[in-house]
Amino acid sequence: MLQLFGNLQQSSVEHPATTKAGHNAIMTSMIVCSGFVVCWSYGEIAYYIRSMGVYVDMTSWFYHFNSLLLHGYSTLTHFIN
């Protein structure tokens, strides 16, 4: 059993292409997660505040801009993944 794990460690030599592909995958994941947080956070906070009975202005430019971000994010993630 120990021999098997020893062979696994010896055969897992990373090539430059493998390292670059792993780096690209991590960067893409970080960009998608950051985009999710940026695009959805305001809407969720506004929904929570509205549910507590506080008035949230839904006619402001920032609210409409956030709606545009939400629709754009929902559309673009299908092409990224």
pLDDT at 7 over 70: no
Are 73 and 39 a contacting pair, CB within 8 Å? yes
pTM: 0.58
Better-predicted residue by pLDDT, 17 or 77? 77
**Who has greater pLDDT, 19 or 14?**
19
pLDDT, averaged across the chain: 78
Name 80's Cβ contacts closer than 8 Å, sequence gap at least 6.
28, 31, 32
What DSSP state is assigned to residue 81?
A: -
Q: How confident is the model at residue 41 (pLDDT cuts 50, 70, 90)?
A: confident
The answer on pLDDT for 46 being more than 80 is yes
Domain ranges of the chain: 15-79
